């Protein structure tokens, strides 16, 4: 089956994105397509596969996201910005409600965060801090900067469902080795959190009227990643919940992939504004029944967008 796609990224979190509104495949078939296209050793590669899906009721369109291992994520906020951009382009809309796997979000075009950088704002929430919603099998009250019994770490975590599960700890300096060890433990699906979790270590780099966070994430189904949009949102909420930033205060959130603007509002609603950069367009043959993949054909490159993003990074 021939698929056309756009390769894109949100804050360095990169994906092949398919307009799937007219494509009828089963979930196992899409999982095989995702494993084929998001494979870093292949011709495309990415942190997952994004699908633009059809309008439904109050939703202007929908998004699905499959991880490189074929599992489907509840949400992906970096991917949502890219999917919303494509959705706006094909529908002619500028804003709307987007259907996700088990929830929805508001998305709209906003002023660029830098010259030439297409920017989409998304709003999600209210999100949940109930341990069961995060996937934890222990506790009735929310874990907000608290030790989680049974977790192989003495650090204090805030557990948030975005609705995908996040464990967020604030640290003086990120230790990748420690983060990977804990992420690997969660990825094994232990009894404490059998559906696994995204784990983030966060540094508070600036305080006051212009706060800044640096987020490093072990992403469920992916591993250590340069960027995870829902982790940046969860970290912003955790920072507000623990008094590190103010409610309603715009915060710059950095990761190795770039930067977004984020705000946590009372009521546990998080708004993220960041890039939705299209880097190149391609087509490829994938057999959904087997996952067999053919060579990729590059249809065009978006060099001006790439240069604009790289110029923004250089100025950070």
pLDDT digits (tens, 9 = 90+) for 180-200: 999 999 999 999 999 999 999
* Residue 76: active-site member: yes
One domain for residues 135 and 261: yes
Cβ distance 170 to 203 under 8 Å?
A: yes
Q: What is the CATH number of the domain that holds 232?
A: 3.10.310.10
Classify residue 168: in a domain, yes or no: yes
* Residue 82: active-site member: no
pLDDT at 291: 95
pLDDT reading at 221 higher than 90:
no
Which residue among the candidates 8, 76, 82, 186 is catalytic per the annotation?
Answer: 76
Q: pLDDT tens-digit profile of 122-178? A: 999 899 999 999 999 999 999 999 999 999 999 999 999 999 999 999 999 999 999
The whole-angstrom separation of Cα 4 and Cα 245 is 43
Which residue among the candidates 8, 82, 186, 228 is catalytic per the annotation?
Answer: 228
- 160: which strand partners? 166
Q: For residue 172, what are the domain limits?
A: 131-267
- How many domains, in total, are found in the chain? 2
Classify residue 18: in a domain, yes or no: yes
Place 95 in a pLDDT band, splitting at 50, 70 and 90: very high
Cβ distance 167 to 238 under 8 Å?
A: no
Classify residue 115: in a domain, yes or no: yes
Mean pLDDT of 279-294: 97
Cβ distance 305 to 118 under 8 Å?
A: yes
Question: Average pLDDT, whole number, for the chain?
Answer: 95
One domain for residues 157 and 202: yes
Q: pLDDT tens-digit profile of 22-68? A: 999 999 999 999 999 999 999 999 999 999 999 998 999 999 999 99
Classify residue 126: in a domain, yes or no: no
Classify residue 81: in a domain, yes or no: yes
pLDDT reading at 208 higher than 70:
no
Q: Which pTM was predicted? A: 0.89
């Amino acid at each position: 089956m021939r698929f056309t796609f756009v390769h894109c990224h949100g804050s360095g979190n990169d994906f092949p994105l398919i307009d799937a509104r007219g494509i009828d495949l089963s979930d196992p078939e899409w999982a095989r397509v995702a494993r084929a296209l998001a494979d870093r050793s292949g011709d495309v590669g990415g942190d997952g596969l994004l699908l633009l899906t059809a309008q439904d009721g109050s939703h202007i369109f929908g998004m699905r996201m499959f991880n490189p291992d074929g599992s489907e994520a509840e949400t992906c906020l970096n991917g949502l910005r890219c999917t919303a951009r494509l959705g706006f382009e094909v529908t002619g809309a500028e804003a709307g409600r987007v259907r996700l796997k088990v929830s929805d979000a508001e998305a709209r075009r906003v002023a660029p965060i830098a010259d030439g950088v297409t920017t989409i704002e998304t709003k999600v929430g209210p999100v949940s801090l109930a341990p069961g919603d995060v996937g934890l099998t222990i506790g009735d009250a929310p874990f907000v900067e608290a030790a989680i019994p049974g977790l192989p770490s003495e650090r204090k975590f805030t557990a948030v469902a975005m609705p995908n599960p996040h464990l967020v700890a604030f640290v003086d300096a990120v230790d990748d080795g420690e983060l990977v060890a804990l992420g690997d433990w969660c990825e094994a699906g232990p009894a404490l959190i059998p559906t696994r979790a995204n784990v983030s270590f966060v540094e508070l780099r600036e305080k006051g009227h212009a706060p800044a966070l640096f987020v490093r994430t072990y992403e469920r189904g992916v591993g250590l990643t340069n960027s995870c949009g829902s982790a940046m949102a969860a970290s912003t909420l955790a920072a507000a919940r623990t008094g590190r930033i103010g409610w309603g205060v715009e915060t710059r959130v950095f990761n190795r992939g770039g930067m977004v603007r984020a705000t946590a509002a009372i009521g546990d609603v998080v708004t993220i504004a960041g890039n939705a950069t299209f880097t190149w367009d391609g087509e490829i043959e994938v057999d959904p029944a087997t996952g067999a993949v053919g060579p990729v054909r590059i249809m065009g490159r978006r060099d001006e967008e790439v240069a604009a993003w790289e110029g923004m990074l250089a100025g950070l």
